[in-house]
A and B are shown apart, each in its own frame.
Chain A
């Protein structure tokens, strides 16, 4: 059993833990280990005390928390004043009871971690505590005005005069009743429910818990249809904007898309009053507005992932007017997935206005230009291709790389020439991109192109790794001509630039090892005594692979 002073010390630890947990939960999400640890500590301190007693009651005053009439916490500051936070809404006592769960402790910390400035209709502390429906935490609340009328509103019913009046009224009622006809007997005496009805009712209750934003927006559209004056239209337009912003804040893109699809459908109704159409058009244009799309961009950056269905709806709703806004948004998005989504949208809606998309190519930021290139690739029509062809010589290699990839994907007669040129580009990454893009060419064309590069005078000057990759690519088009080229390469002698020539042989030897063809063993054995180390090693390795399969 703890002494009084020991108990006071333990109780103070509870308050300290509560303050730490409150601070943690304000900074980190519930799932964060820091928060978890702080709540665990608080829970542990409470359990220690509740091991020896059934309940722990804390009195709350304006600036203090008291335990058994002793002040255990005092704060005059605003920010850390937990007692004032509880006190101002009427909480005068908080009791933790035996059986307390960690979940309830976490719930309590969430309540006391609430914002000080709860404007308007935000729930107060008492409502939040009530909503938690705690079983092991009880709060006593002082509500001076709640039942102030109880005396004044007592319904009179006592005293001799009241009794006398009652008797007279009863006699009058009795006489009146005798004159009335008897009740009909056609009422059912029992109400029965089928299993289907009960199941349906349970289902209704479950569905009722689901978010109502869609319904709210549907009603706003109804209000628009019911409006009679221009003033009403304006009023409802403002309501709609607020509702849309609210839905955006809640990241309910799918619901919003459905709403705007409904707006669009209504707009398309040929029988609508033209004035009404004009107002509806204004509402619809909100979907393509900078404010709306900027928020969507921020949500995508914040981790929102669109389902294919929602993406499809967005594409259906956006039109070419939104292209410049989307390009602007592209410039400041932080995450790859967000940029990818916007680029994909541009790729879909840009089909209707390729020049609008290409305007983004004049942006000074290379990454914006690169993303526009991807959008043009996704559009993939001749207009987009023509625009991309002009970018083959773009000053930034990162842009050029994306252009080559894009043109390769779109295909066409120009591709061979572009890839040929790219395979000779001074930038290694461009050459690699071009090499990877060869698969988009017809097989014979690709092989011829590769053979031409390998035979070119500049090729031996490239580094070993690049040459190795080229020969690896060449092997994809395996055939007599390729094998003759490889054999010739292995046997090639060079008086000058022997090291470069040996690296080329090493690159061939490496790939022959992968090929596993015994036909080349003779050539390879001739190279195992080479003075160039890399050639010796790759030749020996290739022989081992061919002979032992390892």
Chain B
């Protein structure tokens, strides 16, 4: 395949890939919306459908396809409540892949992650979508969602071992690594391994999203910093480190300003240097749109000084920029980073 066919993220350039990724993502969002109704009405929940989609998702992540991660980290027109399970699923599978889980384990982890917050979707809408600050009663109802999730998953007819693991994680996903958090427990010696993975994905997705019941958007780097601070108490310290090394300080999809004054979108973390990801530059130093090109922030000039460095991160919610669309644009100089 010639260099012209390569996309900005260095993928095969198969024009079907983006559609495939979007299809998987959209379909999972739809299932996240349908499953709670299916479960509460006693219908057969379409777990087979979820599993099939997650198999595809797992294959793509195992093959190093970054667009799925980009989808999870970027904005979308879908309701956050339904995107959240999908994002958590993608981030968990990516983290699982990084720590060396087998393909089968990744698919299991994906399912577990996707269903981990299903209890929240069973919370009455007047509480779930309440505008403003939650009162004590709202919190009491919200905190029951872990138990609701466990019961709902456990009660799926003919639930298999994977679903039992999902029920466990659903119950535990608001527990902390040190077993503080909720619900209060006294017979559980430690968090499940999958829970610890999923919780990291959940934290990251929740911190970087805007929702009614939390304080607002945190930039990816701030989210990472918070997570590093919580490592060892609320989050598994080693898994947090793996997550940070996977994402970098500026994860894929971060909207950043460089010291050159250019604006860019992070497309790939550096393997070692956390602050120096490959970044797609989309504007010049004055903010004018340019034909996107990739800048490797790890590159130095002849004096050994880094050519470009991230100086600021921006809240993508503030601007109507379609970040995901940049992933499959042709670069100005395909295949070669500046």
| CB of A153 within 8 Å of the partner chain | yes
Bound CA span A147–B107, Å: 19
On whether the beta carbons of A221 and B187 are closer than 8 Å, the reply is yes
Q: Decide yes or no: A170 and B263 within 8 Å by CB, A121-B160, A122-B160, A187-B275 being known contacts.
A: yes
- Give chain A residues whose Cβ lies under 8 Å from the Cβ of B103: 133
Question: Chain A residue with minimal CB distance to B219?
Answer: A183
Contact, CB under 8 Å: A187 / B225: yes
B156 touches A121 (CB 8 A): yes
Nearest A-chain residue to B184, judged by Cβ = A226
B283 CB within 8 Å of chain A: yes
Asked, given contacts A122-B160, A150-B20, A154-B22, whether A225 binds B151 with beta carbons under 8 Å apart, the answer is: no
Complex Cα spacing A153 to B321, Å? 16
What residues of chain B lie closer than 8 Å to A204, measured between beta carbons?
193
New A-B contacts (16) at CB < 8 Å, excluding given A163-B289, A170-B321, A208-B193: A120-B44, A153-B23, A154-B18, A155-B22, A170-B263, A173-B263, A173-B318, A174-B287, A176-B318, A177-B263, A183-B312, A190-B272, A212-B161, A219-B167, A222-B171, A222-B186
Q: Of the 9-residue stretches A19-27, A193-201, A371-379, A444-452, which lies at the interface with chain B?
A: A193-201
Query: Which has the most chain A C-beta neighbours within 10 Å: B48, B147, B287?
Result: B287
Interface string of B68-98 (1 = CB under 8 A from A): 0000000000000000000000000000000
Contacts of A243 in B (CB 8 A): 154
Tell whether, in the assembled complex, residue B52 and residue A169 are in contact, meaning their CB atoms are under 8 Å apart: no
Contact of B207 with A by CB under 8 A: no
A147-B20, A180-B312, A215-B188 in contact; A126/B321 too (CB < 8 A)?
no
Q: What is the bound-complex CA distance between A207 and B105, given in angstroms?
A: 13
User: B319 touches which one: A133, A169, A182, A226 (CB < 8 A)?
Assistant: A169
Cβ proximity bits B1-41 to A, threshold 8 Å, 1 near / 0 not: 00000000000000000111011111100100000000000
The residue on B at minimum CB distance from A217 is B187
Q: How large is the interface on A (under 10, 10 to 19, 20 to 34, 35 or more residues)?
A: 35 or more
**A127 adjacent to chain B (CB < 8 Å):** yes
Once the chains bind, are A173 and B44 in contact (CB under 8 Å)? no
Is B160 within 8 A of A166, CB to CB? no
B241 interface hit (Cβ, 8 Å): yes
Cβ contacts under 8 Å, B99 to chain A:
201, 205
In the complex, which residues 156-206 of chain A have their Cβ closer than 8 Å to any Cβ of chain B?
A: 156-157, 162-163, 165-167, 169-178, 180-183, 187-191, 193, 197, 200-202, 204-205
Query: B226 near A: Cβ within 8 Å?
Result: no
Interface membership of chain B positions 261-277, coded 1 if the CB is closer than 8 angstroms to chain A and 0 otherwise: 10100000000111110
Identify B324's interface contact among A126, A155, A171, CB under 8 A: A155
Interface size in chain B (residues, C-beta < 8 A): 90
Give the residue name and chain of the B residue nearest to A181 (CB). B312
Chain B residue with the shortest CB-CB distance to A225: B186
Q: Which residues of B contact A208 (CB under 8 A)?
A: 105, 192-194
24 contacts between A and B (CB under 8 A): A121-B163, A123-B51, A127-B52, A147-B23, A149-B30, A150-B20, A153-B23, A153-B25, A166-B322, A167-B288, A176-B318, A177-B257, A180-B314, A183-B311, A188-B274, A189-B249, A189-B274, A189-B276, A193-B238, A193-B241, A205-B100, A212-B168, A222-B185, A262-B187
The answer to the question of A146 belonging to the interface, with a C-beta cut-off of 8 Å to chain B, is yes
A222 touches B160 (CB 8 A): no
Q: Are B273 and A189 in contact (CB under 8 A)?
A: yes
Would A150 and B187 count as touching, CB distance under 8 A? no
| CB of B221 closer than 8 Å to a CB of A | yes
With A127-B51, A216-B168, A218-B187 given, is the CB distance from A189 to B275 under 8 Å?
yes
A157 and B322 contact, CB distance less than 8 A: yes
- A120 / chain B contacts, CB cutoff of 8 Å: 44, 47, 156-159
Within 8 Å CB of A205, what residues of B? 99-101, 105, 193
- With a CB–CB cut-off of 8 A, which chain B residues contact A169? 319-321
A219 and B151 CA atoms in complex are apart in Å by 11
Which of chain A's residues have a CB closer than 8 A to the CB of B155? Answer: 239
Question: Given the complex of chains A and B, what is the CA–CA distance between A216 and B151 in angstroms?
Answer: 11
Who on chain A is nearest to B275 by CB?
A189
Q: How many A-B residue pairs have CB under 8 A?
A: 221
Task: Name the 6 nearest CB pairs between A and B, nearest first.
Answer: A174-B287, A157-B325, A120-B158, A147-B23, A150-B19, A208-B193
B293 within 8 A of A: no
Please, which residues of chain B bring their CB within 8 A of the CB of A1? none
Known contacts A190-B274, A219-B171; A130 and B188 CB within 8 A of each other: no
Interface residues of B in 134-185 (CB under 8 A from A): 147, 150-151, 154-161, 163-165, 167-168, 171-172, 183-185
A226 CA to B151 CA in the complex, in Å? 13
User: Is A270's beta carbon under 8 Å from chain B?
Assistant: no
> What's the Cα separation between A102 and B313 when bound, in Å?
55
Residues in chain A near residue B44, CB distance under 8 A? 120-121
- Report the minimal beta-carbon distance from B311 to chain A, rounded to whole angstroms: 5
Q: How near does chain A come to B166, taking the closest CB pair, in angstroms?
A: 11
A209 CB contacts on chain B under 8 angstroms: 105
Contact in complex: B22, A177 (CB < 8 Å) = no
Instruction: Note all chain B residues with C-beta closer than 8 A to A191.
Output: 241, 244-245, 274
Question: Chain A residues near B24 (CB, 8 Å)?
Answer: 146-147
Question: CB-CB contacts of B248-266 with A at 8 A, as 1s and 0s?
Answer: 0100000101000101000
A127 to B147 Cα, complex, angstroms: 29
Distance from A259 Cβ to chain B, minimum over Cβ atoms (Å): 9
| A-chain residues with CB within 8 Å of residue B185 when the two chains form the complex | 222
List the B side residues contacting A242 at CB < 8 Å: 154
Q: Is the CB of B289 within 8 A of A167?
A: yes
Taken together as a complex, chains A and B put the C-alpha atoms of A262 and B99 apart, in Å, by 34
Residues of chain B with a CB closer than 8 A to A123's CB:
48, 51, 160
Cβ B274 vs Cβ A126 within 8 A: no
Chain A contacts for B30, CB-based, 8 A: 149
> With a CB–CB cut-off of 8 A, which chain A residues contact B337?
none
- A171 B287 Cβ-Cβ under 8 A: yes
Distance, CA A427 to CA B304, complexed state (A): 105
B301 CB to nearest chain A CB (Å): 19
Q: Chain B contacts of A458 at CB under 8 A?
A: none
B23 / chain A contacts, CB cutoff of 8 Å: 146-150, 153
Q: Which positions 229-251 of chain B face chain A at CB distance < 8 Å?
A: 238, 241-242, 244-245, 249
Q: A127-B52, A131-B104, A205-B100 are in contact. Are A174 and B186 (CB under 8 A)?
A: no
Contact A172 B275 (CB under 8 A): no
Known: A119-B157, A127-B52, A262-B187. A149 touches B27 (CB 8 A): yes
Whether B47 contacts A121 by the Cβ 8 Å rule is: yes
Contact of B151 among A149, A218, A239 (CB under 8 A): A239
CA distance A131 to B53 in the complex (A): 14
What's the minimum C-beta distance from A33 to chain B, rounded to whole angstroms? 30
A165 to B289, CA, bound (A): 10
Judged by a CB distance under 8 angstroms, whether A124 is at the interface is yes
Q: Judge if A151 is at the interface, Cβ distance under 8 Å.
A: yes
Instruction: Flag if B167 contacts A216 (CB, 8 Å).
Output: yes
**CB of B286 closer than 8 Å to a CB of A:** yes
Please give the distance in Å from B73's CB to the nearest CB on chain A: 14
CA–CA, A187 and B225, complex, Å: 8
A-side contacts of B313, CB under 8 Å: 183
Say whether A223 faces chain B, with CB atoms less than 8 Å apart.
Answer: yes
CB-CB under 8 A from B25, the residues of chain A are: 153
Contact A154 B19, beta carbon cutoff 8 Å:
yes
Residue in B closest to A207 when the chains form the complex, CB atoms: B193
Does A443 touch B at the CB level, under 8 Å? no
